Structure 1
Amino acid sequence: MLEGKKIILGVCGSIAAYKSATLVRLLVKAGAHVQVVMTPDATNFITPLTLSTLSKRPVYSEYFKPETGEWNNHVELGLWGDAMIIAPASANTMAKMASGLVDNLLTAVYLSAKCPVYFAPAMDLDMWKHEATQKNIVDLQGFGNVLIPPGSGELASGLHGEGRMAEPEEIVDFLSDDIKKKLPLYNQKILVTAGPTYEAIDPVRFIGNHSSGKMGFALADELASLGADVTLIAGPTAQVSKYQSIKRINITSAADMLQQCLEHFPAVNACVMCAAVADYTPATVSAQKIKKHDGGLNIELKKTTDILKTLGQQKREGQVLVGFALETNNEEQYAIEKLQKKNLDLIVLNSLNDAGAGFKNDTNKVTLIDRDLHKTTFELKNKTEVAHDICIKLIELLKK
């Protein structure tokens, strides 16, 4: 959920500021871009150099750069972020945030921020329990800020109780979960198939196709970025998912894919069948490598089970099933026939007659046709953009 996100990390004057180094490292490891803004007091607890080195960005703590007099633009900083986390959030800074007091760069950035703001308090037990602190927390939440609750344990004073800043790992998990909950496909389980299948002739040779898996992997990544819990069944391909949250199941043959689809389909809200599954497979597979002889070689083929049609027959009310049609002639006619015969909710049509479409390319040109025969045709686009277009339609179908 944090991949590519721009995170403003505010660090206040608190002994818990030492945890900010780990927090920056974890955010960067998760793929986020981190901009640290410190209060002047925070620099007494951890050096800007440490946080700058870990974030790979300059750290700001003053309105002006002393050596040049250049202004650190709090408005630009506030607009830059996709999210702002203030951790540790001291009682002093929370009081300033609650009252709108702006006497340092961090509080100025906070008042300028247009993104969601999270705050992770850190203070001693008596300060945490004080009525003024509790009122400030209520006020901050009333402004729409999100509290990351402190933990309980041994405090710097030697007391034991509430007030410990949440651990960096807990903050990252909290932020990821909260972002995910706000996404349009949160709590949606979606099955995606991608890539080719290889149908064995003997231990060495197989029948396959030219599918690279790029379109299916782009779809899985886009669905994950929109909050879905994605299971990806992938044929032999060199493609790699962007998101560790995607559950990948590697298969080889059409029979393998059928087995995995039947196992996972009942539990999902939607299924996007993007894989190029073989229509035929050898009737018998030689246990030994077939030796080359003079003359030709005849291989008897048998039909594979139509996975898409099988899932269409098993589809329950409310499930959304999406298929793909790669055609070379009478494209729209064949796509509509496939849509109706296999009980699909949406079919994605692409034609090998369109330059830049089809297998192996980084681009695709598609037409979306739903079960009401509403048709949307798109121009040639990068497969990542095509995946986004398909997902927007899928969200629409899931809401019906």
Structure 2
Amino acid sequence: MDTEQQTAVIIGLNLDNEQFEYSMTELAALAEANNLEVVARLVQKLDHPDKATYFGKGKVEELKMTVLDKDADMVIVNDELSPSQIRNLEKQTETKIIDRTGLILEIFANRARTHEAKLQVQLAKLQYQLPRLHTSASQRLDQQTGSGGGGFTNRGSGESQLELNRRVIEKDISHIKQELKDIQKSDLTQRKQRDGKNIPTVALVGYTNAGKSTIMNQLVNRYGENQEKQVMVKNMLFATLDTSVRKLIFDDNKTMLLSDTVGFVSKLPHQLVKAFRSTLAEAANADLLVQVVDEADENKELMMKTTEQTLKEIGVENIPMITVFNKADILDEPRPQRAGDNLIMAALEEDSIDELVQIIRENSYKDYVTEEFLIPFDKGDIVNYLNTKANVLSTEYVAEGTKVKAELTAVDSERFKQYLINN
């Protein structure tokens, strides 16, 4: 990659959409997240995009002059374009054209760290490229798919370079899908093992850059089984793509698994929604969702709508959710301020984290019961288990054994029901 920062002109069509200005601001932030400098912005109000060039004829000419005047390296479009629109705009402006989907795919490709995330991004990119193949792109696509030129020396006499590129991409897509299936089987096995331990699972979800990772690090620092396992925090869209899962252990021995999922963004490409369904499986299988919202952002209502739409699109429905309005300190709002299961807070303030933990615990441990047991002296392993896994309220030694009053899961209560005093 070039060390010199590249420049871009961002363009968009206002189709009388109330979210237009917000989406253009977001497009500029996405460009910045991909280390691009936005040097100009062009918009046009139309009833519908031009089928050939997206913009109208006069606006395309203005775009061409803007690109020349600003010496821009590329144009970024606020919508997903058809292959012909991209080709026509590139021809008329004589510069590289990237649509919104292509930009987000590039960001994801640069940020993916785990093997699974890299495979998911690669799959989404290939699915995006497939309908956009054309003969002039043969060499570029060969490089992107990792295919060597030698692979085409024995092609059939009637087979075009375009057909060969399509076959290579389709083969790569099939291979990646199979590899992802194998990974997902392993992940499913791990989740089943966790479920068997009856540990509540909580997933942080929400718009990218709302503060999910900061909240997770605060909770891990205070209650984490391994306090060193912090997640990356950066003031940037899509700072991290990988779902992180951490075990929390509270003072009363109650445990939970907390996951920090990839952030959402408006107009998230359908290729990525589909590809990242498995990455977001932690949210789909959670007992409780915590939606984190940037309270200081004037577009927070749209962000919440985007989050809820994306969750529905990936099949995450009918899971209890609490909403956390983070970054209230920026507005100097009173905090923490609770209304039911909603909370106005600031992630870096202890009082806010205390209140958040209280809400999460109230929703996560509803099935806990308080019981009294009489454990024979020769069943010391059960006493040890309760001391480790339950919230022991009192212990008393009597002639018949050890009396233990404990708060524990309904599953554990059933497991030791023969020792219940009031059984």
TM-score range, shorter chain: 0.3 to 0.5
TM-score scaled to structure 2, two decimals? 0.32
